[in-house]
Copies of this chain bind each other. A is one copy, B any other.
Amino acid sequence: MHRLSAQAERLVELALEEDLALGDATSEATLDPAAAGEGAFLAKEDLVLAGTAVAARVLERLGASCRFGRGDGDRVRGGEEVGTARGRVTALLAAERTALNFLQRLSGVATATRRAVEALAQGGGRTRLLDTRKTTPGFRLLEKAAVRAGGGTNHRLSLGDGILIKDNHVAASGGVAEAVRRARARAGALLRIEVEVVDLAGLDAAIAAGADLVLLDNMDDAGIAAAVARAAGRVRLEASGNMTLERLPRVAATGVDFVSMGAITHSARAVDLSFELR
């Protein structure tokens, strides 16, 4: 049996319930409930695969078995078979759409991530791609895993596994130094502290306050380059805001440690896969 996080398990349950709340009227009317069959998942375009475990779990919850020959992170060519499923035909048909909906979306995220990682590599290869919290509600862990499958690095997974001090936090604390001090005192001993800044003065203050990372918000390429020079390795730097595939090589060329992009999760196009009964 494929094991998912408790969150993903509940999402699969929701997904099946929304489609099957009243049963599958067509199959119940026309198919032999005992008839068994098998089918294959096929890529219909070139893609980076992700979401195989959750897609398999959809099948399994309806009593079918499912096995993916290709794994998350694999590059797949259009036309290739990526997995197979066996079980009652009624189960295969009831699960098909939901399994594909997961697979197409998550492979879409992995594919978009891979493309961005490759664009960064053109700028020198040192800069890593980060994701954000701009994920599909309920899909956080699944999309974060798809980002890793595409070659990206996760930023924090949630509001609880990392400290990111923004302007509101600084204002409420009476300054960045005090905000960082409070965070150090309160947060778990294994969390790093990142501070968001908009200019070099902010960067200086964040470094002085003892930040582990600094997020450079909406700076242009020159600004990022200046920040890299100013930090001089004393702190890790993340550039964020208005990132496009076309711009990524130039940003990477600044030598910034990380670039983050919301679009790889919130606006990735679903890639095309199908399920064919044999």
Q: Contact partner of A158 among B18, B29, B165, B212, CB < 8 A?
A: B18
- Smallest distance from the beta carbon of A177 to chain B beta carbons, Å? 12
Chain B neighbourhood of A141, CB < 8 A: 18, 22-23
- Smallest distance from the beta carbon of A205 to chain B beta carbons, Å? 15
Chain B neighbourhood of A159, CB < 8 A: 19-20, 22-27, 94
- Stretch in contact with the other chain, from A8-16, A76-84, A116-124, A222-230: A8-16
Contact string against B for A residues 234-277, beta-carbon threshold 8 Å, 1 for contact and 0 otherwise:
00101000000000000000000010000000110110000001
**Interface residues contributed by chain A, number (CB under 8 Å):** 97
> Could you give 26 example pairs across A and B, Cβ below 8 Å?
A3-B62, A6-B16, A7-B17, A10-B10, A19-B133, A19-B140, A19-B158, A23-B159, A26-B165, A26-B166, A29-B163, A29-B182, A29-B183, A89-B172, A98-B137, A101-B133, A101-B135, A136-B139, A154-B187, A157-B160, A161-B161, A162-B191, A163-B190, A189-B213, A190-B191, A267-B269
Say if the beta carbon of A1 comes within 8 Å of chain B: yes
Say if the beta carbon of A156 comes within 8 Å of chain B: yes
- Smallest distance from the beta carbon of A80 to chain B beta carbons, Å? 21
Most central of A15, A62, A128, A277 by chain B CB within 10 Å: A15
**Do the beta carbons of A188 and B25 come within 8 Å of each other?**
yes
**Do the beta carbons of B30 and A130 come within 8 Å of each other?**
no
**Given contact pairs A136-B105, A267-B269, A186 touches B22 in the complex (Cβ within 8 A):** no
**Do the beta carbons of B169 and A31 come within 8 Å of each other?**
yes
Q: CB within 8 Å of B: which residues of A? A: 1, 3, 5-7, 10-32, 35, 62-63, 89, 91, 93-94, 97-98, 100-102, 104-105, 108, 128, 130, 133-141, 148, 153-166, 168-170, 172-173, 179, 182-183, 185-194, 212-213, 236, 238, 258, 266-267, 269-270, 277
